[in-house]
Amino acid sequence: MNKLNTLDWIALILIIVGGLNWLLVGIFSFDLVAAIFGDMSVISRIVYILVGLSAIYTIFILGKLQKK
């Protein structure tokens, strides 16, 4: 079985953070990223971009995530 490298783990963690943030938005209308870094501040936008890029990256590593 292929092992996940550091970049794979970072991408997965960012996707989890993004998913939890969307859960908070959906249930409580509370955007944790905006609350921590400011509404659409440069840092917030960077976090959103990194989460999105992580999702795209994860599409390409799905083969590693499958058990063989």
Q: What's the pLDDT at 63? A: 79
Neighbours of 47 (CB within 10 A): 20
The string of pLDDT tens digits covering residues 26-67 is 999 999 999 999 999 999 999 999 999 999 999 999 877 776
Give me the amino acid identity at 42. V
